[in-house]
Amino acid sequence: MSRSMRSSRRLGRAWWWLALLMSAATAVSGCSAADPATAATAARYCRQLVIPAYFYSSALWAQASDSKPPPSDIILDISGIGAGDAPIAHFKAVVRQARARGVTVLGYISTVDGQRPAAQVETEVRNYQAWYGVTDIFLDRVSGQQQQVAYYRQLASYIHQYDAGSSVWLNPGDFPDRAYMSIGDVVMVFEGTYAQYVSFRAPDWAYRYPASKFADTIYAAPASSVPNAFKLATQRQAGHVYITDESGANPYAGLPSYWSYEVSDASAGCASG
């Protein structure tokens, strides 16, 4: 091989490496949101913990609210259907405590898979505001079906009109018809066991939305699974997460046995943002 040919090869390799580096830089700074692998690698966001507080205990509420850092959101479930029949002093106190710590409290309302009359749901919305000062709403048992989009759009519109700054969460427990993404401020797209979560897959269109739009709730998760559960949540574009080792009919009857560890692990992601 002549000197001129060797120089040409070296120059070619130099340009090749330069092109590769430029391509990599472009991929990191402007990755396509529709590419799950690239988005998961480039996404660095603080995981927001959300607690389904389907328990009464003041001690548990205090443990949750006094965490450092405290959870971003706590779901207040009073009756299993909504705000109940009358205000309860106990829940007024724990809500005040949580909000004083900077926690957003969401009022739980079941829509009974879209079969509950909208007027009943709207009454629950008014009662949460009047009795507890709670205007952010968590709608549970959301059907996620296309034929009920109008029903949920009506509810979300009412909640926002009743309080312009309110947030509406929807819980279909799985990825719903995509139309629901324009209805809920946050959509809980997974609610199940850790064993189910391992094989869970998000549709391609999910990566076109910010992680702040999605929540995943994972129960029956042993302590050893927490790091991987958080890793999977990041890969699946879930900005709001809850992990617990509780299980059974109500896996939200208490906090996980490793709550302080979960708080620490979740907040560690904030440092890399």
Same domain, 185 and 175: yes
Residue 10 in this model has a pLDDT that exceeds 50: no
Are 193 and 217 contacting, i.e. CB atoms less than 8 angstroms apart?
Answer: no
Task: Give pLDDT, residue 47.
Answer: 81
Same domain, 120 and 203: yes
Give buried/exposed letters for 62-96 (b at 16+ CB in 10 A, else e): eebbebeebbbbbbbbbeebbbeeeebeebeebbe
**CATH number reported for the structural domain that contains residue 132 in this entry:** 3.20.20.80
pLDDT-derived band at 37 (thresholds 50, 70, 90) equals very low
For the chain, what is the domain count? 2
Task: Give pLDDT, residue 269.
Answer: 60
pLDDT tens-digit profile of 184-229? 999 999 999 999 999 999 999 999 999 999 999 999 999 999 999 9
Same domain, 207 and 225: yes
Same domain, 70 and 98: yes
Same domain, 9 and 81: no
Task: Give pLDDT, residue 46.
Answer: 74
Same domain, 5 and 74: no
Same domain, 83 and 38: no
CA distance 243 to 240: 10
* Full residue range of the structural domain in which residue 19 is found: 1-27+34-42
pLDDT-derived band at 99 (thresholds 50, 70, 90) equals very high
Average pLDDT estimate for 169-175: 98
Same domain, 17 and 91: no
Average pLDDT estimate for 9-24: 36
Average pLDDT estimate for 231-256: 97
Residue 34 in this model has a pLDDT that exceeds 70: no
Task: Give pLDDT, residue 27.
Answer: 35
To the nearest whole number, what is the mean pLDDT of the chain?
86
Residue 118 in this model has a pLDDT that exceeds 50: yes
Average pLDDT estimate for 57-61: 98
Amino acid identity, residue 147? Answer: Q
Same domain, 72 and 106: yes
Are 95 and 132 contacting, i.e. CB atoms less than 8 angstroms apart?
Answer: yes
CA distance 185 to 166: 9
Task: Give pLDDT, residue 268.
Answer: 84
Higher-confidence residue: 75 or 3? 75
What share of the chain in percent tops pLDDT 90?
Answer: 80
Task: Give pLDDT, residue 16.
Answer: 34
Task: Give pLDDT, residue 40.
Answer: 40
Instruction: Tally Cβ neighbours within 10 Å of residue 132.
Output: 21
Same domain, 210 and 233: yes
Average pLDDT estimate for 255-271: 89
pLDDT tens-digit profile of 132-158? 999 999 999 999 999 999 999 999 999
Are 213 and 33 contacting, i.e. CB atoms less than 8 angstroms apart?
Answer: no
CA distance 264 to 192: 23
Residue 42 in this model has a pLDDT that exceeds 90: no
Same domain, 158 and 201: yes
Task: Give pLDDT, residue 7.
Answer: 33
Average pLDDT estimate for 32-61: 70
Strands 186-193 and 136-140: unpaired
Residue 68 in this model has a pLDDT that exceeds 90: yes
CA distance 163 to 187: 19
Residue 17 in this model has a pLDDT that exceeds 60: no
Same domain, 215 and 240: yes
